[in-house]
Structure 1
Amino acid sequence: MSIDPSAMLADLEELVACESFSADLEAVARSAEVVAAQGARLLEAEPERIVIDGVTHLRWSFGNPRVLLLGHHDTVWPLGSLSTHPWSVVDGIARGPGVFDMKAGLVQMFHALAALRSLDGICVLVTGDEEVGSTTSQPLIEEIARACKAAFVLEASADDGALKTARKGASSYELVVYGKAAHSGLEPDKGINAAVEAAHLILAMRSMGGDGTTVVPTVVQAGSATNTVPAQAKVFVDVRVPTLQAQEEVDQQIRGLTATVLGARVEVVGGPNCPPMEASASKDLFDLAAGIMPVRGVAVGGASDGNYTAGVGCPTLDGLGAVGGGAHADHEHVIVAEMAPRAQLLAALTEAVSR
């Protein structure tokens, strides 16, 4: 499988030069055209442009898809970031907004596929809203994944190039506490203090979690004036879980919270919004990758679109993208010398599974 590192680097510069901040739908649309042109040149086929609520996604399908290659072209970097974080390659390190997360992954994917003898049985999906939770693309991802026997996710690698063999799932909650207002100086006893009840709820959640599950109160809001007993309070809770069973158990615990302050009422809003990618979903694919070249697998806390493919039962291997570091940060970078070997790994994996 012949892959040209210099051509990959030129293609990476082209993608990085087109900024694609998730919140700017026009920028995402422009980026989609650049990605579409690059993919069309390397795959010798035009993609289907799928626009959902203004967000542009791209899909290439070849025959009856059995393997899904999944990536995204949106980034967290606002327009104008190129002026403060310009494209550069110094001492084999490429830098620029979105270079690691995950424009290098897209380049590696296109060049890997271009090296294959046949693209039959392959579907490529490049979404435009992963960085903001895949709000419009999640149903599309899940629909394709249900029909495939493997999904390869081109998110950036973990430390030292490790593949991501498990990801935590996520749940988000808003606990709304209803109390009763009263003058805090004249007759506080006639009020029902929602802030005090919120404190009880926060303390009650300290006993939840463990074994990789985290339950973290984040934003807390209460009251309307400094001389008034708070009539309402809100506690936002971020939950991360390693398994679907843990996600269900925590959900039951949070929904079972009851008020301690007499007269207060608690309403639970939200719930699971991203299933975990359990290690069992990646085991066979990781073993296949390890038979192609030496690789290491790790479990990570953050979620990706791989959570959705695994969540519908499609075997999934994540972290097949760039080797480097600093995602979303000033030091975001890619090790250029690793791009071609990673593309070769993806090509070998895709060919093995699509057969």
Structure 2
Amino acid sequence: MIEDLEELVLCESFSSDLAAVARSAEVVAAMGTRHLGAEPEFVVIDGVTHLRWTFGTPKVLLLGHHDTVWPIGSLATHPWSVVDGVARGPGVFDMKAGLVQTFHALAGVGSLDGITLLVTGDEEVGSLTSSRLIEDTARGLAATFVMEAAADGGALKTARKGTSLYTVHVHGRAAHAGLEPEKGANAGIELAHQILAVAGLGAGATTVTPTVLSGGTSLNTVPAEASVGVDVRVSEVAEQKRVDAAVRALRPVVPGTRLEILGGPNRPPLEGTMSASLYALAQKLAADLGVGPLISASVGGASDGNFTAGVGCPTLDGLGAVGGGAHADHEHVVVAEMPRRAALLRALIEAVR
């Protein structure tokens, strides 16, 4: 498992570098072929390379991704290493160790009939090309097991917030800030109004966060354009709909300006009801295997498991690596947990299939 993990980590796969993602797909495909005895289907959508193995009539989906947030060259500053039972390197935790565990789990399954394995190449940038592929693959299946990394303490992820992403763009009118500012329509002032309005839409577990700001061209010009990115996180579909309606109902305050609303819901929430039965099964199997007790967590970050839950497929997430530091300098994996998690995944597949 360590040798396989090293091979994946040394093949850098920054999401925004499509050539690197394609090279990574070749490495992942070769590794999967060695373990599973079958080559995958290469699904290339808008230049992004995804992989899918299908055995017989699909009943269970195993879901993961091979892209990472780490730019090419990160190995120079974050080299691959295994020291005192801890593996480090770019993407080791999110989520290359999860892929290794998946391959080793499947290699020990008596028959692969009824199993589909989908490994996408753009999860870290919003799954823009793979979301429909994921939904179509999961629709009607008995279960999806998401091999994303575990939460703190090795917790399985039984609920994830859904996400919506917006850009609120203000169109104003430029004018000289010293000679005739009254002839302009200040997009910056209007944007300030909209930022306050958007920030007020959060409630309870729902967060609505203004993020990236831009606007203006020079210090002596009334800005004609300005915009703000908005990140929305919700625990329930009803909240996602409420916020979406409120964002689209925004109206300008400054005379002469107009608003353009771009974006919308990106991932539906993975509600706890979609994982409850699978988590109970996992607890029982973990006890039988001696790899428990398991704990669970509800997290704010989204994954491709949100898509599978959104089409009605029971989904259990966080079955991948145990460690921490996703996207950060201290990203790491506890190596001793890798075979234990592979054994749990294998038992789940056998029980559901």
Structure 2 residues without counterparts, runs of 5 or longer: 287-292
User: Structure 1 33/225 Cα, relative in aligned 2: closer, same or farther at 3 Å?
Assistant: closer
Q: How does 1:65-80 map to 2 (within 5 A)?
A: 65-80=58-73
CA contact (8 A) 1:73 1:126 kept: yes
Match of 1:306 in 2: 305
Q: Aligned equivalents of 2:23 and 2:262: distance in 1?
A: 37
SS in 2 for 1:172: strand
User: Structure 1 32/178 Cα, relative in aligned 2: closer, same or farther at 3 Å?
Assistant: closer
Q: Which amino acid aligns with 1:347?
A: R
CA shift for structure 1 position 245? 0.7
CA shift for structure 1 position 272? 1.1
* 1:34 aligns with one of 27, 48, 57: 27
User: Structure 1 209/55 Cα, relative in aligned 2: closer, same or farther at 3 Å?
Assistant: same
* 1:225 aligns with one of 218, 221, 233: 218
Match of 1:94 in 2: 87
* 2:5 aligns with one of 1, 12, 15: 12
Q: Which amino acid aligns with 2:195?
A: I
* 1:184 aligns with one of 170, 177, 182: 177
Q: How does 1:229-308 map to 2 (within 5 A)?
A: 229-293=222-286, 294-308=293-307
Q: Aligned equivalents of 1:189 and 1:306: distance in 2?
A: 51
User: Structure 1 18/229 Cα, relative in aligned 2: closer, same or farther at 3 Å?
Assistant: closer
Q: Aligned equivalents of 1:329 and 1:315: distance in 2?
A: 31
Q: Aligned equivalents of 1:182 and 1:49: distance in 2?
A: 53
User: Structure 1 188/27 Cα, relative in aligned 2: closer, same or farther at 3 Å?
Assistant: closer
Q: Aligned equivalents of 1:78 and 1:250: distance in 2?
A: 33
SS in 2 for 1:280: helix
User: Structure 1 232/86 Cα, relative in aligned 2: closer, same or farther at 3 Å?
Assistant: closer
CA shift for structure 1 position 325? 0.7
Q: Which amino acid aligns with 2:114?
A: G
Residue 193 of structure 1 pairs with residue 186 of structure 2: yes
Q: Aligned equivalents of 1:182 and 1:25: distance in 2?
A: 42
Q: Which amino acid aligns with 1:207?
A: G
Q: Deviations over 1:58-103 (max 9, x none)?
A: 1111110010001111112222222322221111111112111111
* 1:105 aligns with one of 93, 98, 106: 98
Aligned residues: 347
* 1:46 aligns with one of 39, 42, 47: 39
**What's the C-alpha RMSD, in Å, of the aligned pairs?**
1.5
Match of 1:5 in 2: none
Q: Aligned equivalents of 1:137 and 1:254: distance in 2?
A: 26
CA shift for structure 1 position 54? 2.3
TM-score (norm 2): 0.94
User: Structure 1 179/35 Cα, relative in aligned 2: closer, same or farther at 3 Å?
Assistant: closer
SS in 1 for 2:50: strand
SS in 1 for 2:273: helix
Higher mean displacement: 21-30 or 92-101: 21-30
User: Structure 1 261/309 Cα, relative in aligned 2: closer, same or farther at 3 Å?
Assistant: same
SS in 2 for 1:155: coil
SS in 2 for 1:19: coil
CA contact (8 A) 1:213 1:242 kept: yes
Match of 1:346 in 2: 345
Q: Aligned equivalents of 1:85 and 1:233: distance in 2?
A: 37
Higher mean displacement: 45-54 or 281-290: 45-54
CA contact (8 A) 2:126 2:266 kept: no
Match of 2:132 in 1: 139
Match of 2:289 in 1: none
SS in 2 for 1:37: helix
SS in 2 for 1:270: strand
CA contact (8 A) 1:21 1:28 kept: yes
CA contact (8 A) 1:65 1:147 kept: no
| Identity over aligned pairs, percent | 68
Q: Which amino acid aligns with 1:311?
A: G
Q: Aligned equivalents of 1:24 and 1:179: distance in 2?
A: 36
Q: Which amino acid aligns with 2:29?
A: A
